[in-house]
Amino acid sequence: MVLRVSLICLLLACAGCGGESFPVAPVSGTVTLNGKPLAGARVGFEPKRSGEDAAAGPGSYGTTHEQGRFRLVSLDDRPGAVIGTHRVWIRTFKGKEGPNGIIETVVEEKVPARYNSQTELTFDVPAEGTDTADLALTSR
C-alpha cells in the first residue's frame, strides 16, 4: 500500500513538471565541433534540482541545422527552457531497430562522451532568455 501511494505521488509530481510553476525563457544558440558548425545534432537541456525541490521542471530539446544553430522547445511544448542551471548534452548518434531487435547504427556519434553520456556541460538560462547559448566542442 505504501509503495502504491508513493508511486501515485511520484506520478502526480511528474504530471506537474510542466506548466507555469516552471517559467521558461527563449533559448537558441550554435553548436560547433573543432570550430566547425555541427549539423544534425540533438541538444538537450535538463534543469538541475536546487535545494529540497523534488522537481526541477521539464527538459528542453532542439536539433541543429546546417549552420549548427538550434532553438529549444520544452517537453511541455513551450518555446525555450526552464530558467536556471541545466545539465546539457549533445548527440549525433542515430540508430534504427533491425532484425531481432538489435539497434543498427545509421549515423555514428561524432561528439565525445564528455558532451553526452558523461556530459561536463552546464548552462545557466537567464530570465530574459538568450540567443547566444553557444556550445564550442572539441574532439580532443
- Rounded to two decimals, what is the model's pTM? 0.78
pLDDT tens-place string over residues 110-124: 999 999 999 999 999
Domains identified in the chain and CATH numbers: 24-49+56-137 (2.60.40)
Question: Would you state the pLDDT for residue 52?
Answer: 67
Question: Would you state the pLDDT for residue 61?
Answer: 98
pLDDT tens-place string over residues 84-100: 999 999 999 887 788 88
pLDDT over 90 at 103, yes or no: no
Question: Would you state the pLDDT for residue 2?
Answer: 36
Cα–Cα distance, 29 to 15 (Å, whole number) = 29
pLDDT tens-place string over residues 24-82: 999 999 999 999 999 999 999 999 977 666 678 999 999 999 999 999 999 999 999 99
The backbone torsions φ and ψ at residue 5, rounded to the nearest 5 degrees and listed phi first, read -65, -40
